[in-house]
Structure 1
Amino acid sequence: MRFLHTSDWHLGRHLHGLSLHGAHQAFIDHLVEVARVERVDAVLIAGDLYDRAVPPPDAVGLWDQAQTRLVLEAETQVVVIAGNHDSPARLGVSSRLLERAGVHVRVGTGAVGTPVLFNDGTSKVACYPIPFLEPAAAMADWGIEDRSHAAALQAAMGRVRPDLAARSGYRSVVMAHAFVSGGQGCDTERDISVGGVQHVPGGVFGGVDYVALGHLHGRQRLADGLRYSGSPLAFSFSEATHVKSSYLVDLGPDGLGHVKEIPAPVPRRMARISGTVEELLNSPAFSEYEQCWVEATLTDAARPVSPHERLKHRFPYLLKLVIPSLTAEVGYRDLAVLDQMSPVEVALDFVTEVRGRPADVDEIALLNRAFDELRRVEATR
């Protein structure tokens, strides 16, 4: 039995204002082709199908296209769970009808413990989808007392294990959307902590042949049968070093077989570079990044003039410009301090903060003349 493990598509997401619709389309084309060529029995999407609870129309259109093509062109089934970015009510629309077409959408606590069954005559697999569980909902629906993600998933697995134990000869897959201890996050995953507690120990899933995890955007193996596929696209420069892919998972009568990484298409390389404006503009060391999506951090001692416009000439795909604070001793003033400063002092403080060095003698004189003129005009009104 063969499964393709993916997660965290985040349809509808932008990258620093840039639409990723075309990149998502390329990923869907790739996914359908892989599922068709590899004769995949089911594509597993472990949560965060959409980027937000109310997805834009073009994102809904991509999902409609993806599920239709996977079923009709690749002749495979699809199992998808709600993640913390998804709206269970919206994602679950028409789920009972979709089930009959081979698209199994699971949201909320109601169907936890009820598997999607696969049987190809040689292998039998029970796939248990566990959508993202808000601890408050698990407490209300299942009567658990501990308000944590670990307690919610332990309760969910308490519904999975009795069902699996009653299914003779079945191997097992669990899908979950959670932060499992030992996983490495990045800055694009929304915090799901409850009272500071969000991590779930991997032992919660003990006894399962393969756990298809979602939530963390970097592909990672916590154990042979416990893996994050990661997101198919990079959604920030914190993911610049990620290798995006899906996992092709083989399960046989004896359990977990081969797990293969299937690289995802890369719309454009991402790069983080740093240096002075002149270094970034002229050094041949940065030539390889000219066609990348770029985050540039400036190291100039003083704030340069029009750095973004200048750098765009060499790096047309510059998406983010970082200009660190250049003076540690200058910071935001509270209102009490500002009330005690003259207008010229406030203006000089602003110049230092923005430019990274104080105004010179000529600039101080110019500011004094400007404020003198303002006071003169104000007095004649």
Structure 2
Amino acid sequence: MRVLHTSDWHVGRTFHGRDLLADQESVLGGLADLVVDERVDVVVVAGDLYDRAVPSGEAVSACTRILDRIRAAGAQLVITSGNHDSAPRLGAFAEFAAAGGLHLRTRVAELDRPVLLEDRHGPVALYGVPYLEPEPARHALSLDACGHAEVLTEAMRRVRADLAGRAEGTRSVVLAHAFVTGGSASASERTIAVGGVEQVPGAVFGGVDYVALGHLHGPQRLAENLRYSGSPLAYSFSEARHRKSVWLVELDAAGLAGVERRELPVPRRLATVTGRLEDLLTEPAHETLVDRYLSVELTDRVRPTDALRRLQQRFPHAVHLDWRPDGGTLAASLTYSKVVHRRSDHDVACQFVEDCRGAGPSETESALLREALAAVANHERAELAGQRGNRAA
């Protein structure tokens, strides 16, 4: 049997305000071609099918088209819920969907009830372990202890117990959405720590042929049979160097026969660049960045006005901007008490402007600050006089 391990689709996610639905549908819909070319029997999604618990109508429609293409290509689908998904919503109508080859595993109480598929060597049991939020999972699993490691340990105990009762030679695949010790995180993952340590040891997943992990967005191998496929697209600039891919898992009569990487297309690459605004706008060497999602760090001593709009005239996909002036700012090394010591409100306000943009206010701006501060003082005096009048009355 050939299993395509995917995870963390996050359908409906945006990238710094840019809509990614078209890119997601292009890349994920393309998995159907991989199913045909590689004779894939089943595609698994190890959590975070959607980016939100209540996805938009457009996201649901796009996801439905993607799943439809994969199913039409001839593969079964097994999906479990992640920490971004709403398990009850995702798992609705699961029994009806299974009749069409879409198997949804979102219920904690049923995590030891596998999807059973057959190949010429016999049965393969695919167990979907949804994201287990410790406190609700503790009650569902009748545990006293509460933590990620404890609930996943109990979940895997139940999986192994079920597997032990099945026919000899049954191969096993577990889908799990968790942060396993040794994995490397990215900036785009939402933390799953709830009142303690979020990581679980890889030894928890012993006793099965292959573990298809989800949650971390970089593809990685923790052991030969314990891997993250990562997200199909980059969702933060920390993922710029990722080789987005999926794992093609081969099962033979004895269990795991091999795992191969299949890289995914990149609709738009990511890049970061640092420098002065005028240099970035004019330097010919930066022409290679025009078609990339761009994160810019400006080093101008004075914060440029309307910098992002000006950058987007040359780099239309510039989506993120930081200002880190050469040499830093004085305020970073001062405490609040030192900043305001023996200084008027006007002086403090002028210093704030200078700290924010690297240059003090102009004469006109300074006059406006004086007027604003005087208006505030007059308002406060009027309120105080009113309170005194009320008390006297």
Listed as ranges, the matches of 1:339-354 within 5 Å are 342-354=344-356
Once residues 75 and 236 of structure 1 are traced to their aligned partners in structure 2, the CA distance between those partners, rounded to angstroms, is 33
Q: Which residue of 1 aligns with 2:240?
A: 240
Q: Which region of structure 1 is more displaced relative to structure 2, 96-105 or 44-53?
A: 96-105
8 A contact 1:293–1:318 mirrored in 2: yes
Aligned residue type for 1:170: T
| Structure 1 residues 123-159: Cα deviation after superposition (integer angstroms, max 9, x where no partner) | 4321111111111122112221221111111100111
Q: Which residue of 2 aligns with 1:252?
A: 252
Once residues 86 and 334 of structure 2 are traced to their aligned partners in structure 1, the CA distance between those partners, rounded to angstroms, is 39
TM-superposed deviation, 1:221: 0.7
8 A contact 1:95–1:104 mirrored in 2: yes
SS of match in other structure, 1:279:
helix
Q: Which residue of 1 aligns with 2:384?
A: none
TM-superposed deviation, 1:315: 1.2
TM-score (norm 1): 0.91
SS of match in other structure, 1:101:
coil
Aligned residue type for 1:246: V
| Structure 1 residues 206-243: Cα deviation after superposition (integer angstroms, max 9, x where no partner) | 12111000000011111111000000011111111111
Listed as ranges, the matches of 1:158-197 within 5 Å are 158-167=157-166, 168-197=168-197
TM-superposed deviation, 1:60: 0.8
| Structure 1 residues 328-351: Cα deviation after superposition (integer angstroms, max 9, x where no partner) | 425999799879854531431232
SS of match in other structure, 1:262:
strand
| Structure 1 residues 66-109: Cα deviation after superposition (integer angstroms, max 9, x where no partner) | 222222x2121100001000001110110011111111101121
Once residues 64 and 138 of structure 1 are traced to their aligned partners in structure 2, the CA distance between those partners, rounded to angstroms, is 29
Listed as ranges, the matches of 1:12-161 within 5 Å are 12-71=12-71, 73-161=72-160
8 A contact 2:273–2:297 mirrored in 1: yes
Aligned CA distance change for structure 1 residues 334 and 110 (closer, same or farther; 3 Å): same
Aligned CA distance change for structure 1 residues 162 and 346 (closer, same or farther; 3 Å): same
Once residues 371 and 59 of structure 2 are traced to their aligned partners in structure 1, the CA distance between those partners, rounded to angstroms, is 57
8 A contact 1:70–1:76 mirrored in 2: yes
Once residues 248 and 14 of structure 2 are traced to their aligned partners in structure 1, the CA distance between those partners, rounded to angstroms, is 27
| Structure 1 residues 17-62: Cα deviation after superposition (integer angstroms, max 9, x where no partner) | 1000101110232111111222211100000001011100011112
TM-score (norm 2): 0.88
Aligned CA distance change for structure 1 residues 40 and 369 (closer, same or farther; 3 Å): closer
Once residues 32 and 366 of structure 1 are traced to their aligned partners in structure 2, the CA distance between those partners, rounded to angstroms, is 60
Aligned CA distance change for structure 1 residues 35 and 328 (closer, same or farther; 3 Å): farther
Listed as ranges, the matches of 1:306-345 within 5 Å are 306-324=306-324, 326-329=328-331, 342-345=344-347
Q: Where does the alignment leave 5 or more consecutive residues of structure 1 unmatched? A: none
8 A contact 2:339–2:348 mirrored in 1: no
| Aligned residue pair count | 374
Once residues 372 and 64 of structure 1 are traced to their aligned partners in structure 2, the CA distance between those partners, rounded to angstroms, is 58
Once residues 2 and 328 of structure 1 are traced to their aligned partners in structure 2, the CA distance between those partners, rounded to angstroms, is 60
